[in-house]
Amino acid sequence: AKAAGGNRYALSDPEADIRAISRHSLTNSLPTALERGEFFIEYQPLVRLSDGSVHGAEALVRWCHPLRGVLGPDQFIPLAENTGLIVPLGRWVLEQAVRQARTWQLEQRDARPVLINVNLSPAQLHHPGLVTDTLQVLREAELEPTALCLEVTESALIGAEEDLLRPLRQLADLGVAIALDDFGTGYSNLANLRRMPLSTLKLDRSFTRGMQHTPADPVDIKIVEGIVSLAHTLDLDVTVEGVETGMQAEHLRVLGCDTAQGWYYARPGPPEQLHSLSLADAT
């Protein structure tokens, strides 16, 4: 309600002014940041609740700003979306992540393949090069499409027309998994879910919060039970985000969730973290 406004409003609100200037300067330095290699990726493992083994990892981008230090994606992804830089940035993230997944594969030939999850912003979804770019990145890294999962937020797909779903369907037909991210924060309905070429629902962190204590919140239990049963009926896996305690993990396992992600297992970190985690449970 306060941010944009007219000039007059901004002038009467110094803090809003400072925020606007800060956004402006960050926005201006985004393109050179990509050229200068100031972005890097952290990986957060996804763990199978059935046996605690590593299922994959999500790539999460960070910006090592020369003056401000490390910035989280919430501070610059919206700016990159506004300016269109998200398309080359997103492609860079995809390239790095897919290469990293290939490296993991080569490092542990005997273990089950580690999947790599990459976030896709709405602008990337609308970009005509999505399918060919993705396939090219996979081919160059020699990673099979089935090792990649693209995460699309529920809000990006709300009321999506067929045009928007077609590239996702093409990718899905080639074996790329599609996850519906932040599920439960938007307004998807059953009919909508059926139209989408999904393989996974990623349940938003807000649902796992109610599982922090015993007994768990009875309403949250009912909701998660319902979502899991719906998802499994539609042949979708359920991943839960924001698992911070062993208690939560246990509740969610009992409720039938398939995979989990959160600080309880590991914070997002360098790629070696996942390597040691999965080697540890392979023995």
CA distance 30 to 79: 8
> Per CB under 6 A, does 239 bind ligand C2E?
no
244 is an interface residue for ligand C2E by CB under 6 A: yes
Count of positions on this chain that bind ligand C2E (CB under 6 A): 21
**Whose CA is closest to 121, among 161, 162, 92?**
92
> Minimum distance from CB of 143 to Ca ion (Å)?
19
Longest dimension (CA), the chain: 65
Tell the smallest beta-carbon distance from residue 181 to ligand C2E (Å). 5
Q: Does 182 bind ligand C2E (CB under 6 A)?
A: yes
CA distance to 187, 189, 217, 262, per residue, from 225 (Å): 18, 16, 12, 20
Q: Would you say 241 or 258 has its CB closer to ligand C2E?
A: 241
- Quick note: the x/- pattern for ligand C2E over 112-151, rule CB under 6 A, is -------x-x------------------------------
Cα–Cα dist 276/283, whole Å: 11
* Residue from 71, 77, 114, 257 binding ligand C2E (CB under 6 A): 77
Which tokens is 63 given? 């910006």
Of 8-16, 132-140, 226-234, 238-246, the window that binds ligand C2E (rule: CB under 6 A) is: 238-246
Is 181 a binding residue for Ca ion by CB under 5 A? The answer is yes
Contact predicate 244/261, CB 8 Å = no
Q: Which stretch binds Ca ion (CB under 5 A): 5-13, 88-96, 143-151, 268-276?
A: 143-151
Q: Counting contacts by CB under 6 A, is residue 268 touching ligand C2E?
A: yes
Q: How far is the CB of 265 from ligand C2E (least distance, A)?
A: 8
Torsion angle of the four alpha carbons 233, 239, 245, 251, in this order, in degrees rounded to the nearest 10:
0
Q: Which does 9 bind (CB under 5 to 8 A by kind): ligand C2E, Ca ion, none?
A: none
Q: Tokens 């490092």 label which residue?
A: 107
Q: Which residues contact 92 (CB under 8 A, 6 or more apart)?
A: 34, 39
Residue among 29, 44, 119, 278 that touches Ca ion (CB under 5 A): 119
* Under rule CB under 6 A, residue 90 binds ligand C2E: yes
Decide which of ligand C2E, Ca ion, none touches 73; Cβ closer than 5 to 8 Å per partner kind. ligand C2E
Q: Rule CB under 6 A: say whether 242 interacts with ligand C2E.
A: yes
Question: Where on the chain is the footprint of ligand C2E (CB under 6 A)?
Answer: 44, 60-61, 72-74, 77, 90, 93, 119, 121, 181-182, 241-244, 261-263, 268
